[in-house]
Structure 1
């Protein structure tokens, strides 16, 4: 069950203790005037209503986009995408981007705003998403932030570090230092350069993440310190939680304290994490990967377009995205073989695509398990019941968010049976089962990728 009730009650008890009536007297001592001022401040803080923002997250394949769309229709809302791939034009299938008809029915923000060759950072997302939030609220509508990119949502809710922006001169200097190394593909040498400059954590960056490597060097040259030297607002909230936990008995859970600390945030964030039993989620993900390969305009066609623009797999944010990286690597291999691919090669690619997608969902669940502001909901329950619950939670004036047992989803796997079933899990395809099931795709590859090699 959600801890929201205990939390809000605890918060109210603190206020009520501070607001005990003071005795009437003609003159007040300095200490009593000070106490009265404190009481008035607390009273004003209680009366000051913060604007509400809904946040819907969950692992890939959980159905959060559909839920957000239906919520927006009911609440007169607009959707802000918190998906690091949906920002790119042309990457529609692999990112499960909302359809044009859905976007026409409900306004969507931060979708199709960049070409795949461009980089997009969490800091830029913070600025763009907060601006969109303000505009939506000013228009009298409800902001609904939806996506599964954990760092995007963490910064959006808690704030971004005050890291200095590089001057044009420093940005140009850094570009010059790394340009030749990037052109030659010498990632290891570039990492050593940045580590020697003062950022030992650069060695842990994802391979070929040239944007973050450049940004790290820019920060060092601008401030003399590495990015890790700057306080992250979320870490401050975590420190407060640890402090509160040490000051109270076991009845105050981390979840309770996490939600209570949200009172210091810019908005009244009402956050939900939508998930399904792990086995069901894995099956859905596997089938969705298959679906993305169907038809002429599937993820392979989008990966072909990325290659045709001159991008290489795993070379920037867009080409590192799950699905696109695997598809591009597979097609590069096909092109090297003059458009030839065996059924075995295709099924190896599909298996890697499915496995990477499942692992990504697992990482998302692990990440959000530690995000204390979210209420977990069972995606396997009827959509109408989930919609009604969130609708009522948004309009509730008491501040209590209590997830009913029928909708509550447990964060941790406690059943030995479920653990055993997960270990024994094997993919069961729906479309690609026999060798001949992929012949249409292999023929498409032979025709399209051979042409690209010839030209």
Structure 2
């Protein structure tokens, strides 16, 4: 299996600096694993590495979408794997860096994303049937085909009943049938960065203040004016909309950005600790442990798996 180094963890914990430092030492190139850094014109609020911070290291999946475009986990999965192949072809080490856990997991494992058990035609057929005959008759159809699923879904939950029928008709299996465990596609080493919670929150607050100095409000106002469907949802942008509308003070909006960013950081940590095996390091309080981490990476690179 091809080697992939991954650096994950919450916002404001030092992922960018570490990734560039390791890329220099390990002949690596960097793939952004962040769902918002793909958007052009959103530089400050998404904490993109500046040209100076990138230090000449090639970065992938940054500035590859217009604000009006959508970007899905399936898009990232496909383009991220293409980037891994391109970097390996050069004889270099791919380094995936980011805090969007689902994106990173979908990249490293053979997750089936969408379509396999979905059919709009089947769904529409059952929607029409339900309109004509009612929820009880629809549920009775499910009970005949998949009694196990019918027993767990209330007859008035039309959406779930139709979804269960759709899966059964498309695959021949109950929606409750256990799914196969996704297969690991790469020999990856996952570095999880963390630090003491109070210190992390303080760093997040300080970062938000710095972003405001750098021009965060201009980016937020651009999104407020354009209102694109997906990119508008990013933390650090939507919180300013009540301020632009004249419904809230700037101080209140900034406080909301900080609070939402802290909550997101907590969710990021929980996600990585519960879903993926990582080697956890606190380089904020213990920078002296970096040589030990580098030694672990060197040992991993020298090992074989597959």
TM-score relative to the length of structure 1 = 0.53
Secondary structure at the aligned position of 2:4 is classed as strand
Matched, 1:283 2:202: yes
Structure 2 Cα separation of the partners of residues 198 and 329 of structure 1? 38
Gaps of 5+ in 1: 1-49, 178-191, 201-218, 238-263, 401-455
Distance 1:70 1:281, change over 3 A: same
Q: How does 1:343-422 map to 2 (within 5 A)?
A: 345-383=249-287, 385-386=289-290, 388-396=291-299, 399=303
In the TM superposition, residue 348 of structure 1 has moved relative to its aligned partner by 1.2
Cα deviation code 1:262-317 (max 9, x no counterpart): xx62221101100000010011111111111114xx221001112233x16xxx33
Cross-structure match for 1:74? 25
Cross-structure match for 1:112? 63
Partners of 1:137 and 1:143 within 8 A in 2: yes
From the CA coordinates, give the structure whose radius of gyration is larger.
1
Structure 2 Cα separation of the partners of residues 317 and 73 of structure 1? 34
Partners of 1:162 and 1:230 within 8 A in 2: no
Gaps of 5+ in 2: 128-155
RMSD, matched Cα: 3.4
Structure 1 Cα separation of the partners of residues 5 and 196 of structure 2? 24
Cross-structure match for 1:308? 225
Distance 1:140 1:384, change over 3 A: farther
Distance 1:197 1:317, change over 3 A: farther
Find 2:102's aligned residue among 148, 151, 162.
151
Secondary structure at the aligned position of 1:303 is classed as helix
Distance 1:194 1:156, change over 3 A: farther
Give the number of the structure with larger relative contact order, counting CA–CA contacts within 8 Å between residues 6 or more apart: 2
Partners of 2:243 and 2:253 within 8 A in 1: yes
Matched residues, number: 270
TM-score relative to the length of structure 2 = 0.77
Distance 1:138 1:117, change over 3 A: same
Cross-structure match for 2:232? 319
134-143 or 320-329, which deviates more = 320-329
